[in-house]
């Protein structure tokens, strides 16, 4: 008797046999293919060098890898078989430049543009406050003199209303007690005083605090200043610290000045950094409600993305914020 669908039992047996044969062949082929490939796991080890920055590039996003010299950076990758998964050719470890290439080389510039007030824009501040008396034999000694002077111009208090951002207008109001000021106002005074003397200086927002940075030509680096306390910072080797140095540093931090409270508690504020792109507040003041539009937030971890304001600027590679501001 034939089944209702027209297939005999013999035909069914043949179909099942063919199916099992194809399944076995496909499994054997897969095993043969995989045996010819490299392992599903690959690893590379790179010896780090002093003064060299290392980072990981994923989908055009760069993630810094904090390292020191004479360490070993181990990178492991697992996934689908490829040839190879990970490879560091010896020819890529050292690149030799010709003299012509060295002559053509330029300092890497930031993709963010910083704006500063010029000395000519701040002439009123420079003359009225007799800032010429703060000049010293070296640029660093001059910076310290301006920092100490700034910290003594008024007594810190929480402002009732947000006062002017122009230091030449702000200072008389603070001295007379017509307005109050705290960390932000100390920074306005210090940054604009430094700019009036020809320095590049900028504002940096921490967690609940404002500090500033100044480019010191003789040191060829940015240095962190806290005008509220009149303090600077050095690491365990005695190197003057930038804001980023303090945020990333693991060793002891020494305060040069009169910082109130515990230095470790203060250092925790540096885990949230926002660099002001607009540092020309004397000529182009910013509405207090628009301040976040002109700050670049540094992203240290994925959690930092949650605190970004709508449309906020950010960077996962803060080294790009530390190029020289001097036009070469």
List, for residues 122-149, the tens digit of each pLDDT value: 999 999 999 999 999 999 999 999 999 9
Torsion of CA 215, 296, 168, 182, to 10 degrees: -100
Tokens 């640029």 belong to residue: 139
What are the pLDDT digits (tens) for 72-119?
777 776 665 555 555 655 555 555 667 777 677 655 667 899 999 999
> What value does the mean pLDDT take over residues 39-44?
62
For 16, phi then psi, to 5°, come to -65, -40
d(CA 262, CA 271) in angstroms, rounded, equals 16
What are the pLDDT digits (tens) for 186-234?
999 999 999 999 999 999 999 999 999 999 999 999 999 999 999 999 9
Range among 2-6, 18-22, 32-36, 154-158 rated most confident = 154-158
* Global model pTM greater than 0.75: no
What are the pLDDT digits (tens) for 170-186?
999 999 999 999 999 99
**CATH value of 115-321 in 3.90.350, 1.25.40, 3.10.620, 1.10.443:** 3.10.620
Alpha helices in 178-284 (DSSP H): 183-196, 243-248, 263-267
**What does the mean pLDDT of the chain come to?**
83
Q: How many residues does the chain have?
A: 328
Q: Where are the domains of the chain?
A: 41-104, 115-321
The answer to whether residue 31 scores a pLDDT higher than 80 is no
């Amino acid at each position: 008797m034939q089944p209702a669908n027209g297939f005999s039992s013999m035909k069914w047996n043949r179909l099942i046999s063919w199916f099992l044969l194809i399944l076995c062949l496909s499994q054997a082929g897969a095993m043969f293919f995989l045996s010819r490939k490299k392992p599903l796991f690959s690893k590379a080890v790179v010896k780090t060098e002093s003064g060299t920055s290392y980072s990981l590039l994923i989908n055009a996003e760069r993630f810094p890898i904090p390292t020191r010299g004479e360490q070993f950076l181990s990178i492991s990758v697992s996934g689908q078989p490829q040839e190879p998964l990970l490879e560091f050719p010896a020819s890529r470890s050292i690149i030799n430049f010709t003299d012509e290439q060295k002559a053509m080389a330029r300092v890497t510039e930031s993709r963010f543009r910083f704006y500063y007030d010029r000395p000519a824009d701040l002439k009123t501040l420079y003359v009225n406050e007799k800032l010429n008396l703060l000049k010293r034999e070296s640029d660093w000694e001059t910076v310290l003199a301006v920092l100490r002077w700034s910290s003594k111009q008024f007594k810190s208090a929480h402002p009732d209303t947000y006062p002017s951002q122009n230091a030449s207008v702000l200072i008389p109001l603070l001295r007379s007690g017509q307005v109050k000021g705290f960390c932000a106002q100390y920074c306005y005074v210090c940054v604009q005083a430094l700019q009036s003397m020809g320095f590049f200086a900028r504002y940096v927002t921490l967690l609940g605090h404002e500090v500033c940075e100044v480019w010191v030509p003789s040191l060829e680096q940015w240095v962190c200043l806290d005008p509220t306390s009149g303090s600077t910072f050095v690491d365990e080797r005695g190197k003057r610290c930038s804001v980023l140095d303090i945020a990333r540093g693991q060793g002891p931090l020494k305060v040069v000045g009169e910082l109130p409270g515990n230095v470790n508690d203060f250092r925790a504020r540096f885990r949230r950094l926002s660099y002001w792109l607009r540092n020309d507040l004397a000529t182009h003041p910013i509405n207090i409600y628009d301040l976040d539009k002109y700050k670049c937030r540094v992203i240290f971890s994925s959690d930092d993305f949650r605190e970004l304001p709508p449309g906020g600027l950010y960077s996962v590679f803060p080294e790009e914020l530390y190029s020289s501001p001097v036009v070469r």
